[in-house]
Structure 1
Amino acid sequence: MTGREYLRVSKDRSGRMKSNGQQHEDNQRAAERHGITLLEPYEEQEAVSASRYARKTRDDFERLISDLKAGRFGADVLVLWESSRGSRRVGEWATMLDLLEDRGILIHVTSHGRTYDPANPRDRRSLIDDANDSEYESAKTSMRIRRDMKANAAEGRPHGVCPYGLRPVHDQRTGRLITWEADPDKAPVIEELFKRLRKGESFKSITKLFAERGITNRKGKPFSHQHLRDMATKAAYAAYRVYKGELIEGIWEPIVDRDLFWDVQRILTEPAHQSSAPRPGRVLHEYTGTIRCDVCSGPIGTVGTRGRAEYKCQKNGCIRINKPEVDQVVTGVILAYLSRRDVYQALNRRADPAAVAEVRAELARHRAELAKAENQTPTTVDEARMFARLVEELRGKVADAERKQRELTTPSELNHLMEPGADVAKRWKAAPVSARRKAAAILLTPELIGELRITRSPVKNHRVPVTQRMIWRREPNQPS
């Protein structure tokens, strides 16, 4: 007889992997004893689950089924190392047995030491029993894993791949993961990334800086723009465990201060920063895209005319005006504004400690109530529906309390771009252009300094001071 194997990586109860090569060696010895000549195998190239909880498809299993349907199998026997290698789903297994029976193909299970005939009722019952057992074991394993994950999440224990900047701590006797801790060599890189982002530096400039200093990822390659962005949103650095979208206090120590973490999240996600994000390439002008044309409300860009820089309406070309003179006025207004103590205090919100404590207590209470509701075991359909509604309501309350806590404890990012004092002009000049551009996009709004618009000259064909063409649109009752 001729036979074709279906090989799929196996993991035994000790957690050791049984490779395709090892399975083939066992199958080869069994085939020789039973007079079977093995032909080309079907073989999965990576470890893929055969249970109904699998997230990846088994390409060669699909090819095996397709060949059986089309009559292309080309052998007398299907050889499996053990029955669960074929499938851990009863329906899928039964379909395969039907195809084998229709084609008159036998199935040999090496771990059983025997060959089965799917057309034989007793053999078929034995094989179906194996499939039932395999599916039941898969279901129990999946349930245990979900239960353990939920318990670990509730306790704030780490899960998944340890992020760059942290390192795992294992029990020396059992090898069990205990927690994560800061990696003394890599954690400073993460902290520097967050601090630079809070100052307004771009991912492009940080990527270039890290590459020049030889800072690389775990594979020894320079960090990419996208890799740094992904790290900047990773809650694990602030000692948060994420479980089904909820942030839970982690048991490990943060390597990034939480105020710093939330500052950066706001900088990366707020619409003001998204809309004012520079085009690809180097940012050269802090006010382009923020100042607008008063004629058509379009944005104003920079152009060069006869060796001098001008602002020009990018939408319809409505206006042109001397750029250096406008920049001098706008910078002076911004610096004067930032130097005021009352403005600094308004921008740098400081929450009342009592209010913060109240919100944190509210959050802790809602989390405890949610955990209690999730652990209830309803005995009727009505109870199940009631608990489902309660859980949904409590999750909403937890999310609201978390948002309140962030709003109370997160200062404005402008506090970290600038600080008040006599040297505010020096610090403004030293800040990257990208940081000044972000600050201008926030400050030059009706709610703060005012939205700046440039209008046409009031006197046709006659040059007037730029201040006569600058219009500041403010909300009512805004201080000048």
Structure 2
Amino acid sequence: MDLSGMQRLRESLVGLRAGLYARKSAYQGKHKAKGRSVKEQLDNGQTTANELGVHVVEQFVDDDRSASTYRAREREEFERMIEWIEGGKLDIVIAWSSTRLQRDLAVYSRLRDACKRHGVLWCYGGKVYDLSNKDDRFRTGLDALIGEREVDEMRDNILRTLRSNAVDGRPHAQAAYGYRRIYDARTGAFICTEAEPSQAPVIVELTRRVGNFENRTKIAVSFNKHGVTPPTRHWTKGMVKKLAAWHPGLAENEDIHPDWLARIEEAVDLRQEARDRLDADEDPVDIARDFIDRDEPLIMARWISATITAYAIDERYLGYRSHLGKVTNKEAWPALVDKSDHLRAVAAVKKGKEKRKYNQRPGKVIHQLSTLMICDICEIPVNSDKQHGYPRYSCAAPAPEGQKGYHAQRTGLDRRSLR
């Protein structure tokens, strides 16, 4: 566009209300880079807005969000932008490129139609598009089609690479607990996977103990008491809740190493922050993500029975590389456990599941009337537990505010009392 054309365009847009949209896909573990890319997009969008003479009234940012048909999560800010368009609050949407707005033809059509109905312009790559104009619809539609195809092609290439790596025994994602990877110091190329000296013996021990039918919870507690570093890689919402509820008088403190207790006691500010943010109704998942971004130490990480079970039956520790549930290479890396120990652990876990399946009734059933009775208020099955040593039946739905207990509750009730 020549100088006079740009001047006329600017004059026609002056005073319009603009919304800046920015998006970045998954960071694949590079949390310290989060926010950088979207900031660059927003800065560029503000520069474009200044050049066009439009007034930015709102910013819409979907950080760590995909726009493809394979996205795992919806884009909350994109949806909010649609609401602003349909609410008549915007006159033009500015983005870095077409692929920042969408990589899915269905989403493109939805956004295009909303903008067409409400007379909202698009601007990306420095060019303004009027969606009521057939030529502009064709151009933006072609860009959307190209963007969607790029995603499909990238996905196909990734899947081919994963299949090839699986057959060759090359690693995928992070190294499993018990192993470490060796890379060339000069080129950074992957060389091999080898046993991690401080972790491999832990895998050997837990596999043998599970195979000997030891209680997995007790195994986890013994690891925690002896200060065996757990395999936890990042904060979870459960860890945030435990941090907020922690105090020196907890009985469970006896089941963890003294050095771990000392680290928790020293983290006074972090404990208070967790309590304050939960009291303010902040989602514990968001708090956990924030702690991850800040590299807060994993002071609440623990061994649990589920982890003990998963590691005891994991074929990776036989040296196997699997892909989509199928073993593709049986000599991908050094085996940490003997096959006989592995098979005994698998058999022990399987037998435990069968015992629970055939010797227990559904749910937390302890007494004969559990799940047979139904609460007449909430229609939840009445289950059983013990209170002060006596059987108690309750529906587990809290009673109305100001009242104690549950809708349906009876202590010391058994079958004979109902005759």
TM-score range normalised by the length of the shorter chain? 0.5 to 0.7
Q: Deviation at 1:207? A: 1.3
Q: What's 2:371 paired with?
A: none
Distance 2:186 2:338 in 1: 33
1:7 touches 1:23 (CA, 8 Å); kept in 2? Answer: yes
Task: Select the residue among 155, 161, 184 that pairs with 2:168.
Answer: 155
Distance 1:211 1:278 in 2: 30
Offset from partner CA, 1:110-148 (integer Å, 9 cap, x none): xx2222111122222221121111111111111111111
Q: What's 1:464 paired with?
A: none
Q: What's 2:41 paired with?
A: 23
Paired residue type of 2:61 = E
Offset from partner CA, 1:372-423 (integer Å, 9 cap, x none): xxxxxxxxxxxxxxxxxxxxxxxxxxxxxxxxxxxxxxxxxxxxxxxxxxxx
Paired residue type of 1:39 = V
Task: Select the residue among 253, 267, 271 that pairs with 2:334.
Answer: 253
Q: How does 1:12-91 map to 2 (within 5 A)?
A: 19-45=37-63, 47-68=64-85, 71-72=86-87, 74-91=89-106
Paired residue type of 1:133 = I
Q: What's 1:463 paired with?
A: none
Unaligned runs of at least 5 residues, structure 1? 280-315, 317-480
Task: Select the residue among 89, 94, 97 that pairs with 2:112.
Answer: 97
Offset from partner CA, 1:70-97 (integer Å, 9 cap, x none): x225111111111101111123212211
Q: What's 2:347 paired with?
A: 266
Gap change, CA 1:10 and 1:114, over 3 Å in 2? farther
2:121 touches 2:130 (CA, 8 Å); kept in 1? Answer: yes
Task: Select the residue among 157, 167, 174 that pairs with 1:144.
Answer: 157
Gap change, CA 1:161 and 1:2, over 3 Å in 2? same
Distance 1:239 1:259 in 2: 14
Q: How does 1:78-477 map to 2 (within 5 A)?
A: 78-109=93-124, 112-217=125-230, 218=232, 219-220=298-299, 221-248=301-328, 249-270=330-351, 274=356
Distance 1:172 1:79 in 2: 44
1:158 touches 1:250 (CA, 8 Å); kept in 2? Answer: no
Paired residue type of 2:98 = S
Q: Deviation at 1:24? A: 1.0
Gap change, CA 1:73 and 1:213, over 3 Å in 2? farther
Distance 2:56 2:162 in 1: 43
1:10 touches 1:85 (CA, 8 Å); kept in 2? Answer: no
Gap change, CA 1:177 and 1:223, over 3 Å in 2? same
Paired residue type of 1:21 = K
The higher radius of gyration belongs to 1
1:9 touches 1:19 (CA, 8 Å); kept in 2? Answer: yes
Q: What's 2:257 paired with?
A: none
Distance 2:187 2:91 in 1: 47
Distance 1:78 1:238 in 2: 55
Paired residue type of 2:347 = R
Distance 2:341 2:196 in 1: 19
1:184 counterpart SS class: coil
Gap change, CA 1:278 and 1:158, over 3 Å in 2? farther
1:31 counterpart SS class: helix
Offset from partner CA, 1:33-52 (integer Å, 9 cap, x none): 1112222222224x222111
Distance 1:133 1:29 in 2: 26
1:8 counterpart SS class: strand
1:6 counterpart SS class: strand
Distance 2:207 2:222 in 1: 14
Distance 1:277 1:25 in 2: 64
Q: What's 2:385 paired with?
A: none
Percent sequence identity over aligned pairs: 28
2:212 touches 2:348 (CA, 8 Å); kept in 1? Answer: no
Q: Deviation at 1:157? A: 2.2
2:17 touches 2:55 (CA, 8 Å); kept in 1? Answer: yes
Q: What's 2:393 paired with?
A: none
Paired residue type of 2:302 = P
Give the total of aligned pairs. 275
1:191 counterpart SS class: helix
1:44 counterpart SS class: strand
Q: Deviation at 1:193? A: 0.9
2:121 touches 2:131 (CA, 8 Å); kept in 1? Answer: yes
Distance 1:176 1:51 in 2: 30
Q: Deviation at 1:184? A: 1.0
Paired residue type of 1:113 = G
Q: Deviation at 1:276? A: 8.8
- How well do the aligned residues superpose, as a CA RMSD in angstroms? 2.9
2:58 counterpart SS class: coil
Q: Deviation at 1:273? A: 5.0
Q: TM-score, normalised by structure 1?
A: 0.52
1:211 touches 1:223 (CA, 8 Å); kept in 2? Answer: yes
Distance 1:31 1:67 in 2: 18
Distance 1:251 1:237 in 2: 10
1:10 touches 1:19 (CA, 8 Å); kept in 2? Answer: no
Q: What's 1:8 paired with?
A: 23
Gap change, CA 1:143 and 1:275, over 3 Å in 2? closer
Distance 2:56 2:187 in 1: 42
Gap change, CA 1:168 and 1:73, over 3 Å in 2? farther
1:232 touches 1:264 (CA, 8 Å); kept in 2? Answer: yes
Gap change, CA 1:188 and 1:168, over 3 Å in 2? same
1:181 touches 1:252 (CA, 8 Å); kept in 2? Answer: yes
Q: Deviation at 1:222? A: 2.2
Q: Deviation at 1:67? A: 4.2
